[in-house]
Amino acid sequence: MKSLKLFSLLSLVSVFAYTSCAKKGDTGPQGPPGPAGPDSVIYSSWTTLAMTQSVNGPGDTSYFQTINAPSITQDILDKGIILTYLAFVDNSGTTNVANASVYIDEVYYPGKIDLSSFFDYSGLKYRYVIIAGTLQGRSASGTSTYSKEQLKSMSYEEVMKLLKPSNKASH
């Protein structure tokens, strides 16, 4: 019994000594801010489409437009991803946003996007979102990455929630 009391006392002293040594000091001063990193997500302002009609023959009409996109560089074309959206207002007055690549053929070049379609989308709003190749899309839990195909199949709202772009728009 005596050795049990001695063991208990030694255990208590050991725990007290251990926790006393784990004392934290005061927090030091905050260091200077680091340099700003490059923006990984850039998006354009909404542009109202004004497509040009081309009649190639009877029953063969197509529509074209070139969008100036100075933020699209060769590096973005080589390593990044460009997502595009159309916004339209339905009969109830609700604005809807859809994946533009489903409706319009798009060809990306440094500094521009060429649009073509067999339907005139003039009057609808168009936006592009550039994701630099230095940023991996991650799930909300941060555990999985997304492929270009997965990002392109997401709704506009899902992409904005995932990427949380800054308010920096480019034209």
Ranges of each domain in the chain: 41-170
Residues contacting residue 71 through CB under 8 Å, at least 6 positions apart: 42, 44, 130, 170
Answer whether 103's CB lies under 8 Å from 119's CB.
yes
Average pLDDT, the chain: 78
| Contact call for residues 43 and 127 (beta carbons, < 8 A) | yes
**Neighbour count for residue 137 (Cβ, 10 Å):** 18
Kindly report the pTM of this predicted structure: 0.63
Q: How many CB atoms lie within 10 A of CB 57?
A: 6
Query: So what's the pLDDT on residue 167?
Result: 47
Per-residue pLDDT at 3 = 53
pLDDT tens for 130-142 read 988 754 445 445 5
What is the reported pLDDT for 63?
97
Q: For residue range 96-133, list pLDDT tens digits in order.
A: 999 999 999 999 999 999 999 999 999 999 999 998 87
Q: For residue 5, give the DSSP letter.
A: H
> In this predicted structure, what is the pLDDT of residue 26?
75
Find where tokens 């030694």 sit. 10
Its sign, for the CA torsion 70, 103, 47, 62, is positive
